[in-house]
Amino acid sequence: MALPDAQPAPALTPSSAPPVGAARVGALTVAAMAVTVVLWASAFVGVRAVGHDLDAGALTLGRVAVGTAALTVILGIARLRRRAPVRLPRGRMLVLVLAWGVAWFGAYNLTLNAAEQHLDAGTTALLVNIAPMLVAVLAGFLLREGFPRRLLAGIAVAFTGVVVIAVATTSGRFDVAGVVLGLASAVLYAGAATLQKRLLPHVDALTMTWLGCLAGTVAALPFLPALVSQAAAAPTSSLLGVVYLGIFPTAIAFTTWGYALGRVSAGRAAASTYAVPPLVVLLSWALLDEVPAPVVLLGGVLALAGVAVATLPRRPRPVRTR
């Protein structure tokens, strides 16, 4: 059974459209996307730094458990201010939200953390951020957001960039496992973003994010023994890093992402993350003294160029008048 389509909003007439309110909503959406980009960029660096003391599974559980706790507080405050109870989805919708949470907060974080055990933060970010192109492909099929003819050209360019990264890393001090894990993260990111866009008309963004993070935490519970033993031996800086990853790039950034995704197309929202890899490279250079090899950067530029070609909206053609 297909999900019911959201009812279209009534059209605003020139007399009824509030220009100030519309501008305010646009500004809030841009601000939400900017917060998401900056915090997600910091997550790549944080994962790389903490990954020296916690393995991929333990870090996943620690991050999403802290994120769930933070989101519980945020959701409680939001509901108290609105004086409204939390309305949970039911039936098939609840199952889909929980499955989305396991994929987005559980599997994505696990593959991302594992990738950064093999690759530096900048290289991982370059691989993961082919996801906007994958989102555009999935949105074209599943959300009927359209298929620009240049999509195939963008895919070809992006694929070339990925091949360059793979060849550069496997011939140097990295191995192919990191590249595969980075690409797996991109696929999970794209699938989760597309499903989230489909579900948001039926579940509010904050409740969905909270439920998803809770589902990811439950799915990661098998890593609890590893988290307990490794956290006991980890320095305080790494434990604080886990807390940071749970509160900021998880609880806050995923909430602002859901807010933005509910107001723009899936492809447009994902395209806003083009800025993540350059920020990651700068942050990892400043904080970790890590910079991807020049050949890897070249491959990343090709990959992001291909993503841009595939997903950026075209300018409307001017109408010719006689």
d(CA 84, CA 252): 21
The predicted structure's pLDDT at residue 320: 52
| CA angle, 284 then 286 then 291, to 5° | 45
What is the tens place of the pLDDT at every residue in 65-97?
999 999 999 999 988 888 777 788 999 999 999
Lowest mean pLDDT among 85-94, 118-127, 143-152, 283-292: 143-152
What is the tens place of the pLDDT at every residue in 140-191?
676 565 666 666 677 677 777 777 776 766 544 556 888 899 999 999 998 8
d(CA 308, CA 275): 11
The predicted structure's pLDDT at residue 308: 72
In this structure, what token pair is assigned to residue 52? 């020296």
How much of the chain, in percent, has pLDDT values that exceed 90?
A: 39
What is the tens place of the pLDDT at every residue in 4-46?
333 333 333 333 333 333 344 478 888 888 899 899 999 999 9
What is the tens place of the pLDDT at every residue in 201-214?
899 889 999 999 99
b/e for 200-231, b at 16 or more Cβ within 10 A?
Answer: beebbbbbbbbbbbbbbbbbbeebeebbeebb
Specify the higher pLDDT residue, 196 or 11: 196
**pLDDT surpasses 60 at 194:** yes
Q: What is the DSSP string of 133-164?
A: HHHHHHIIIII-----TTHHHHHHHHHHHHHH
The predicted structure's pLDDT at residue 315: 54
Mean pLDDT throughout 252-260? 89
Specify the higher pLDDT residue, 279 or 207: 207
**Half-sphere exposure in the Cβ direction for 204 (13 Å, CA):** 10
